Amino acid sequence: MKFLRFFLVASCWLTLAGTALGQGRITGVVQDSVTHQPLAFASVFLANTTLGATTTEQGQFEFTKVPAGTYDVVGSYVGYRLGKRVVTVANSKTPQEVTILLGSNGPQLDEVVVQGSAHRAEDYKKFSDLFLGQSTFSQQCEITNPKDIVVYTNDSTKELTASAKNFVQVENQALGYRLKYFGMFFTYNPETDFVGFSGQPVFEEMTPRDAAQLRQ
């Protein structure tokens, strides 16, 4: 339910952001944190928005017509950890320039991928039910890349954790948005009934399946 409330609030924010008067630009480059070599075709997005881009062969990116405000600019690249810079955009012709440095995941990446295909079905179902909720609204949400998620239950504490090295993708048919949740880490403690998750989301508008969804 916490996730669904986040989804609803974020969707309202997206609507408000689209009506903002002030606009600006963000430009920058994504680089390896050690060699400072540019990372071509990396994903860059403004968290909690629908604004995303792919870097050029020189590792460069640009966002235009960005509503005034403060944003987390997040970079993602296969084999690297997420990188983030906080940028404040004003109504100005001068772009905000940022450099996003990504650190390598090292040899751990292959190990995680192997584990991800072997998670127990009952653990994944518990994670999915807690993450999405079980309301009528949540039934219109679907995780479309379950094999990319590593789910684990501690046999001693019974604490459930789930993570994804790249992103978790959720399609919400009710709102007509696709959400990619980068760097997701989820935890559930059955003893205290505590549910928590963290990550950097970006939204993509889906093609409406009918007139009713378009009105939503």
54 assigned to some structural domain:
yes
Residues 101 and 123 both lie in one domain: no
Residue 2 confidence (pLDDT): 54
Residues 182 and 132 both lie in one domain: yes
Question: Ramachandran region of residue 129, left (φ > 0), alpha (ψ -120 to 50) or beta?
Answer: alpha
Using a pLDDT cut of 90, give the percent of the chain over it.
43
Q: What is the pLDDT of residues 39-66, one digit of tens each?
A: 999 999 999 888 999 999 999 999 999 9
- CB contact set of 108 (below 8 Å; sequence gap of 6+): none
Residue 111 confidence (pLDDT): 42
Query: 76 forms bridges with which residues in the sheet?
Result: 43
Which residue is it, tokens 């590593």? Answer: 150
Beta carbons of 147 and 164 less than 8 angstroms apart? no
Residues 57 and 93 both lie in one domain: yes
Closest to 202 (Cα-Cα) out of 181, 176, 172, 184: 181
Residues 19 and 93 both lie in one domain: yes
The pLDDT-based confidence of 117 (bands split at 50, 70, 90) is: very low
Q: Which of 72, 105, 138 is at the close of a domain?
A: 105
The pLDDT-based confidence of 6 (bands split at 50, 70, 90) is: low
Beta carbons of 90 and 24 less than 8 angstroms apart? yes
3 assigned to some structural domain:
no
Q: What is the pLDDT of residues 127-184, one digit of tens each?
A: 999 888 877 777 888 999 999 999 988 888 889 999 987 899 999 877 788 889 898 8
Q: Which of 105, 122, 150 is at the close of a domain?
A: 105
Residues 140 and 93 both lie in one domain: no
Number of domains comprising the chain = 2
Closest to 20 (Cα-Cα) out of 70, 76, 79: 70
The range of the structural domain enclosing residue 40 comes to: 12-105
Q: What is the pLDDT of residues 72-88, one digit of tens each?
A: 999 999 889 889 999 99
Q: Which of 73, 88, 105 is at the close of a domain?
A: 105
CA–CA separation, 116 and 130 (whole Å) = 19
